[in-house]
Structure 1
Amino acid sequence: MIKALLLLIVLVNGLYAVRFVLDFLKHRKEAWAEPGSNFLLALWGALCFFLSTFGISDFALSTVLYRARKLVSDKKLPGTLNTQCAIPVAVMALAYISSITVEPKTLILLIVAQMAGAYIGPRFVVRLPAATIRTFMGIGLCLAAAFILAGKFNLVPSGGDATGLEGGKLILAVVLLALYGALNNVGIGSYAPTMATVYALGVNPAVAFPIMMGACTFSVPMGAMEFVRLGEYGRKITFFSSLFGIVGVLAAVYIVKSLNLSMLQWVVAAVVLYAGATMLFERAKGSEAA
């Protein structure tokens, strides 16, 4: 099953890569004329996806930089965010799934659950106030980070080192991952909640990485191909991010694989706390503006 999954990742993202390359070559003059220093874009591609490999949102980071430097219009920003991350995320998924031991049934079911949530969820999620969801998610993630830190200081039982889930825990994880996939549609990333869930259910925190990347690597290229077809994306940014993002991903994957469980728990706590605090800060900013 794992080999079949890896092959499917290569096929889906390979199709996207071919379409992007053909479009880039067709419009190469316009692409090189787009704003942005080649050195800056190369450096940013490596740094952005180095951080993204640890679960820090490349969408959020890139939005801040691209708008501040006026590298791409707001109209083309959503397309650029999707097209720039397709190849780096595929490399993340291939590296983590092939190098981190995960029980195949758990991996496949959780990837499918998150993809299903992302597909079916919008018709339900869009009816809910995004600000309210963000508030509850922010509080939940901060509490999850506190739980992880309490375990590190031996105040509560710490997370386990299992490579898969069974029975009620697996069913709960499937339901939650489907919910996280749905919440992606209101701008709430699934990386940090997935980390917190996997940890809380007693699984090795490293297992969260192939699950997170595996789900994203199927959903992202499908949307990215549509943006390429429409030409609604930054070609130059996507070129440099696709190329140098791989360098950042491989560097980060090596670090994650070489960290022991204790150090990885600190990384998970930091990412989850960052995500929760960011959501609460955005909610407070929105209330202030209103």
Structure 2
Amino acid sequence: MLNLVRGLLLVFTVFFATVFGKDLVKAKKEGTLENDNVVKASFIGLITDFFDTLGIGSFAPTVALSKALKLNIPDKNIPGTLNVAHTIPVIIEALIFTTVIKVDSLTLITMVGASVVGSYIGAGVISRMEEKKIQLIMGIALAITAILMLLGHPKINLMPIGGDAIGLTGIKLVLGVIGNFILGALMTAGVGLYAPCMALVYFLGMSPAVAFPIMMTSCAMLMPVASTKFIKEQAYAKKVSLCIAVFGSIGVLLAAYWVKSMPMELLKALVIVVIAYTSVTMLKAVYKANKVSEEVK
């Protein structure tokens, strides 16, 4: 069953790479390829996808570094650039982690499938919800999760939660599927799947390592389709996306080697840091949004 997942990922890779490659060749022939800074874009790809492989996420860091290094990507092209640029690195992440980390096939396929279905079916409902409220709830929930996980870390061991299972059965599997369905839907509201998926996996008693193939395969199944749409609409920065995709893939390979050889205690500490970081980011975004609203009034 895992080979079926990997096969689908390879099909998506070929499909996406063909569409992306044809568009780049066409742009070069027509002379419409942007004159962006290749070195800066390559550096951004290497750094952001290295940390994406650790579970930090790549979208927000890419936007921050692009603005800091003055790549000057038009705002209307930012969503498309983020998706197109990081699609191949994320697929590589999924292929690596479904190979090097043991995960139950049924658990992986059902949870990944639930996130994909959630991103489509749930989009209509979630997109109408106020993003600020969603971020506030998720930010608080992740903060509590990070604290509980810290207390449950083997070095502290004040609250024995989590586990070492590589799969779910019975009611836990049902909860995992429902949870990832909701997380897939929340992606349409701008809430990243990585940290919440880590928390979900941990509280259902699975090893934190199992979160990596689940969360990365979930995103890898979604991004090629969305990215292809952005390419057809010409709503992305072509040269920047190519540089990030190439050097981001190198960043993934470097980080994946580090993660797979990391002791479990250190990996658990990394997961706690990722969840805490995501919580702070969400709560900070809510605070800024409230501040702007007050200034407008």
**What's the TM-score bracket when you normalise by the shorter of the two chains?**
over 0.9
Instruction: Please give the alpha-carbon distance, in whole angstroms, between the structure 2 residues aligned to 1:181 and 1:251.
Output: 27
1:15-40 deviation per Cα after TM superposition (whole angstroms, max 9, x unaligned)? 10011111111112432x4322x222
Which residue does the alignment assign to 1:113?
114
Instruction: Please give the alpha-carbon distance, in whole angstroms, between the structure 2 residues aligned to 1:230 and 1:199.
Output: 39
Residue 160 of structure 1 aligns to a residue whose secondary structure is coil
Instruction: Please give the alpha-carbon distance, in whole angstroms, between the structure 2 residues aligned to 1:44 and 1:133.
Output: 29
Q: Which amino acid aligns with 1:34?
A: N
Q: Which amino acid aligns with 1:234?
A: A
Which residue does the alignment assign to 2:19?
19
Which residue does the alignment assign to 1:43?
43
1:173-226 deviation per Cα after TM superposition (whole angstroms, max 9, x unaligned)? 111111111111111101000001101111010100100111111110101111
> In terms of mean alpha carbon deviation, does 22-31 or 272-281 score higher?
22-31
Instruction: Please give the alpha-carbon distance, in whole angstroms, between the structure 1 residues aligned to 2:129 and 2:238.
Output: 34
How far off is 1:253 after superposition?
0.7
User: Given the alignment, which residue of 234, 238, 244 partners 1:235?
Assistant: 238
Instruction: Please give the alpha-carbon distance, in whole angstroms, between the structure 2 residues aligned to 1:118 and 1:136.
Output: 19
How far off is 1:41 after superposition?
1.4
Instruction: Please give the alpha-carbon distance, in whole angstroms, between the structure 1 residues aligned to 2:120 and 2:173.
Output: 21
Alignment of 1:192 onto 2:179? no
Alignment of 1:103 onto 2:104? yes
Instruction: Please give the alpha-carbon distance, in whole angstroms, between the structure 1 residues aligned to 2:258 and 2:269.
Output: 13
Instruction: Please give the alpha-carbon distance, in whole angstroms, between the structure 1 residues aligned to 2:93 and 2:20.
Output: 19
Residue 154 of structure 1 aligns to a residue whose secondary structure is coil
How many aligned residue pairs are there? 288
Q: Which amino acid aligns with 2:233?
A: L
2:36 and 2:240 in contact (8 A); partners too = no
Residue 57 of structure 1 aligns to a residue whose secondary structure is coil
Alignment of 1:248 onto 2:251? yes
How far off is 1:70 after superposition?
4.1
User: Given the alignment, which residue of 259, 264, 268 partners 1:261?
Assistant: 264
Q: Which amino acid aligns with 1:71?
A: N
Instruction: Please give the alpha-carbon distance, in whole angstroms, between the structure 1 residues aligned to 2:275 and 2:131.
Output: 19
> Could you state the TM-score of these two structures normalised by the residue count of structure 2?
0.94
Instruction: Please give the alpha-carbon distance, in whole angstroms, between the structure 2 residues aligned to 1:246 and 1:178.
Output: 28
The percent identity for this pair of structures is 37
Instruction: Please give the alpha-carbon distance, in whole angstroms, between the structure 1 residues aligned to 2:218 and 2:200.
Output: 15
Q: What are the ranges of 5 or more consecutive residues in structure 1 without an aligned counterpart?
A: none
Which residue does the alignment assign to 1:140?
141
Which residue does the alignment assign to 2:229?
226
Q: What are the ranges of 5 or more consecutive residues in structure 2 without an aligned counterpart?
A: none
Instruction: Please give the alpha-carbon distance, in whole angstroms, between the structure 1 residues aligned to 2:143 and 2:93.
Output: 26
Instruction: Please give the alpha-carbon distance, in whole angstroms, between the structure 2 residues aligned to 1:130 and 1:263.
Output: 33
How far off is 1:66 after superposition?
2.5
User: Given the alignment, which residue of 201, 205, 209 partners 2:208?
Assistant: 205
